[in-house]
């Protein structure tokens, strides 16, 4: 499957990637979204942007007026509107150093510079949980695993680098399930 385009949330003067939410965030939007419907990297037909200002969650509706000319789509107008969201639940957000990341999987936040769980009630921020400890814990473990994998490759325990890489991915997934469920977050992300 094609890597999907990210949704973003502005928080503390920084752009974060929305990794996951406990319930359908977009359903609480006070507006309709028009499908762009022309990209395999956007299976929903839209991307969404949000903002937290003064502890209130806003949805940013970006409207484009476009028309297709042969094989090209020409954008005629682009505007945005900010509207309060009535969302209750948790958001998992991550701030990456660059745009070279894949946020399609919940464990992607471990590769971020910083990450938060934000807990909202009727659009109002009630709690913020910094996930710095989980990121640091993973980076320490990942360094150790890479060192072990180099040795296992030398000893021919792993047949190739892909197998070593895949093994780290499996451990990372288990790490996330355990840490999010029992240690770092208030919402039990992995059921």
- Each residue's pLDDT, cut to its tens digit, for the chain (191 residues) gives 566 667 889 999 999 988 888 877 766 666 665 555 555 555 555 667 889 999 999 987 665 555 555 566 555 555 566 788 889 988 989 888 876 666 666 778 888 888 999 999 999 999 999 988 888 988 898 899 888 888 887 888 877 887 877 888 888 888 887 777 667 776 555 44
**Residue at which a domain ends, from 85, 105, 130:** 130
- What is the signed CA dihedral for 28, 30, 35, 40, rounded to 10 degrees? -30
Residues 55 and 119 placed together within one structural domain of the fold: yes
CA atoms of 99 and 8, how far apart (whole Å):
12
Residues 165 and 82 placed together within one structural domain of the fold: no
Q: Would you say residue 99 lies in a domain?
A: yes
Look up the domain containing 38 and give its range.
8-130
Residues 114 and 152 placed together within one structural domain of the fold: no
Residues 88 and 32 placed together within one structural domain of the fold: yes
Residues 121 and 137 placed together within one structural domain of the fold: no
When divided into structural domains, the chain yields a total of 2
CA atoms of 168 and 145, how far apart (whole Å):
7
Residues 12 and 50 placed together within one structural domain of the fold: yes
């Amino acid at each position: 499957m094609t890597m999907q385009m990210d949704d973003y949330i502005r928080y503390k003067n920084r752009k974060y990637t929305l990794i996951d939410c406990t319930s359908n965030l977009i359903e609480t939007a006070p507006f309709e979204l028009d499908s762009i419907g022309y990209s395999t990297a956007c299976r929903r037909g839209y991307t969404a942007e949000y903002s937290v200002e003064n502890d209130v969650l806003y949805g940013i509706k970006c409207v484009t007026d476009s028309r297709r000319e042969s094989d090209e789509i020409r954008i005629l107008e682009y505007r945005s509107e900010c509207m309060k969201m009535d969302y209750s639940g948790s958001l998992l957000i991550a701030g990456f150093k660059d745009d070279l990341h894949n946020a399609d999987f919940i464990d992607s936040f471990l590769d971020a510079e910083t990450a938060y769980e934000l807990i909202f009630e009727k659009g109002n921020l009630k709690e913020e949980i910094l996930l710095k400890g989980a990121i640091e814990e993973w980076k320490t473990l990942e360094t150790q695993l890479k060192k072990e994998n180099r040795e296992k490759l030398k000893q021919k325990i792993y047949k190739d680098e892909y197998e070593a890489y895949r093994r780290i991915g499996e451990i990372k997934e288990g790490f996330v399930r355990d840490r999010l469920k029992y240690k770092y977050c208030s919402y039990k992300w992995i059921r």
